[in-house]
Structure 1
Amino acid sequence: MAQTLQQNSTVSVCVPSYNHSRFIGQCLRSIFVQTHAPSELIVIDDGSTDDSVEIIEKTLEDCPFPCELVVRPNKGLVPTINEGLEMARGEFFAIIASDDLWLPGFLERRVSQLQHRPNAVLAYGHCYNIDENDKIFGATSDWADYEDGNVRDMLIKKYPPLAVTVLYRKAALEIQKWNPEVFVEDYELFLRLCTLGEFAFDPEKLSGYRIHSTNISRQTESIVKGKIQAFQLNAKILGLSSQELLEVVAKVNWGSADFLLNSKQRFKAIKLTLQNSHAKIPITKKLQQYLKLLLPNKIIQAKHKIIKRKSNAINGRDIKDLIIQQLGGKKNYNLDQRLSVTHQDS
């Protein structure tokens, strides 16, 4: 019965591409080797100025299922995602950034979650953090205590899923789609979707979220402002009172101060911490934050380097090895070559 459900489930996958020529080949080939094949693959290049389009065209020659490439001038990420959603014909819908990748069992597991959870609007899970060279250096399970079912409180008090781990029920997205007027488009969408149904959670790590020099720039004060904007826009449907909204904003600002400190922006971190000292944060965490504000940057950075070395010592594997392992350890059809970086740096 489960196998029949899987076979009858159609999945549309959308890849919004923009200047990721180094990684787009890997991303696409990780979709090609899914144990539950998508019914269609939609790739939209959003005005890339590198050789992404050439690599996409070459890579799609090997696509084992229906695919379509749209090449057009730049419109931005959210219009690109919504364009893909409009084109999609599947029962389920997934987006994957052109620098991320999936392990082979990703779609199979997510489809199973949604098939067995009719009240769920999406399925999600943990993922690996990978660097520019495909090395695993951590995972969301290191810090995120994700929840299953009603996730309203988790989204308000803690953190959202990462988009690379999510498969959506398309019917839910026909009611609530991405808002082009907000900065943190996924977070804001999750706040609306949680009012429509459950989030089905599975703890297994089945995807890789890549952190590198060209995408870390989004981790700025703009994200903090975007989160606050998302809560302000959706306070009513979330049932937040004016006082609760103020408390949420204070917690968001408090959390961002830690990021600013780690980014060597001590003055801004101190200012934000003091402005939000009234935030309802456990006293131990407040004391830790104050202590970090007093420590020299060199000590903080040294601590992060030690943590990173320990993480690499534990993880440190090439994520392609995990892909091969999930496929039964076979490198047939030149799998290692198929998953290699197509783009050659000059």
Structure 2
Amino acid sequence: MFNKSADTLKDNGYPLVSVLMPVYNREKFVDEAIESVLAQDYDSFELVLVDDGSTDASPQILKRWQEKDTRIVVVTAPHNEGIPGALNRGLAHARGRYIARIDSDDVMLPGRLSAQVTCISSRPEVILVTSPFEYMDVNGKYVNSWKSDTPHEVVVFLLNFFNIVAGHGQVMYRKDDVLAEGGYSLDYPSSEDFDLWVKLLKRGRIECVPVPAMRQRIHPNQSPQQYASVKRKNWHGIMGNSLRHYLGREVSFDEIEALITLWRRDGKTGMAPLANAVTQETFKRFCQQNSKPFQHLASQRIAAEWKQTGDHFMKQGNGNEAKEYYRIAKEWLALGDSSSLMTLFKRLYRKVIQ
């Protein structure tokens, strides 16, 4: 538990943390989400609820909560602006130095705010704090967990390919730095977090605290499902910008398509050689800047992605494509110099090629 008094946790009279929660037609879940925030063992926070043009009973629910608790601020959008727009509106009203995100269909776990404040307030080089989190079904039943223990140096590398930070509702960041980057981009609905993490890398470190931060609810109406049709366009834009900066060159449409097949497993065939070429080029740049332990971690993660994509092709009945991905996975795994992992992989690979 964070032991400092409420007075010392104030920032010029304002709460140190603003918990930012956009709400759009979440009458079934928002009560539980709000309750989980208000139950935190931490004193200096406000809860900024952004009603993003809801047409169900959400506005009335938010109003009732605002009347019950002075820590709650309700901001109302004139119409549905989408997640990035709602978050920018909330940022404009947030008074805290640090922003903790949570979505209106998820649940904040105990101890999350105090643990993340301890980290970010004591380390000025840290721009964003993430944490492990859990997945639950629509009824709140545990499904599985996301581990978030990748060191910053490897996170910088992997963000070229996918959102290694994962969910958005488990993070805390410095508000002023996010505003200095222009806030959330309206160009990337539902991938606004991925884009922001990439931009924040030039301002500081991304660190993880081991305290689980939230339970993310999986259901048909959550935003990733709603925006599935635009995600590929988002990935092209964000990955293209990131790799252009990292490699110092323009990255072609076909190169991004090949990387999407590897990291997102879209099932396209014939993409392995180009995906491997770009990954090797990026890894070479990474090795120039980082020591052997980080190189080993990165190469093992790359190997795991090649194997998982191979598994995907195998399940589709495309054994030849799967073998190519397994072959490349073996090469990447060897760079990690992990004898136990290599033994396991050789066993799996022999089973496939028999």
Q: Say yes or no: TM over 0.5.
A: yes
CA distance 1:213–1:2, change in 2 (3 Å): same
Match for 1:165 among 166, 170, 176?
170
Q: Give the partner amino acid of 1:70.
A: T
Q: 1:256-335 maps to which residues of 2 (within 5 A)? A: 256-257=264-265, 269=267, 272-275=268-271, 278-280=274-276, 282=303, 284-285=307-308, 287-294=310-317
- 8 Å Cα contact 1:128-1:209 kept in structure 2: yes
Q: Give the partner amino acid of 1:199.
A: I
Q: 1:53-132 maps to which residues of 2 (within 5 A)? A: 53-63=59-69, 65-70=71-76, 72-132=78-138
Number of the residue aligned with 2:343: none
Q: Give the partner amino acid of 2:111.
A: G
Identity across the alignment (%): 24
SS in 1 for 2:232: helix
Q: 1:144-159 maps to which residues of 2 (within 5 A)? A: 146-148=150-152, 151-159=155-163
Number of the residue aligned with 2:240: 232
Structure 2, gaps ≥5 residues long: 277-301, 319-354
1:192 counterpart = 2:199? yes
Aligned pair count reads: 282
Number of the residue aligned with 1:212: 219
Number of the residue aligned with 1:341: none
Give the stretch that moved more between structures: 37-46 or 161-170: 37-46
Q: How far 1:117 moved relative to its partner?
A: 1.4
CA distance 1:71–1:220, change in 2 (3 Å): closer
1:201 counterpart = 2:208? yes
Q: Deviations over 1:271-300 (max 9, x none)?
A: x233455322646445423311208xxxxx
Q: Deviations over 1:4-24 (max 9, x none)?
A: 697246011221110111001
Distance, in Å, in 2 between the alignment partners of 1:245 and 1:115 is 41
Distance, in Å, in 2 between the alignment partners of 1:147 and 1:238 is 18
Q: Deviations over 1:233-288 (max 9, x none)?
A: 34444444336996555222333335xxxxxxxxxx3xx23345532264644542
Distance, in Å, in 2 between the alignment partners of 1:245 and 1:2 is 52
- 8 Å Cα contact 1:34-1:106 kept in structure 2: yes
Number of the residue aligned with 2:290: none
Q: Deviations over 1:216-247 (max 9, x none)?
A: 52473532321121122344444443369965
Give the stretch that moved more between structures: 43-52 or 57-66: 57-66
Q: Deviations over 1:144-198 (max 9, x none)?
A: 6533367311212453321111001112112112111123111011110011110
Distance, in Å, in 1 between the alignment partners of 2:135 and 2:229 is 22
- State TM-score, norm by structure 1: 0.73
- 8 Å Cα contact 1:254-1:273 kept in structure 2: no
Q: How far 1:203 moved relative to its partner?
A: 2.6
Distance, in Å, in 2 between the alignment partners of 1:38 and 1:68 is 18
CA distance 1:127–1:34, change in 2 (3 Å): same
The answer to which structure, 1 or 2, has the higher relative contact order (CA under 8 A, 6+ apart) is 1
| Aligned CA-pair RMSD | 2.8
Q: Give the partner amino acid of 1:159.
A: N
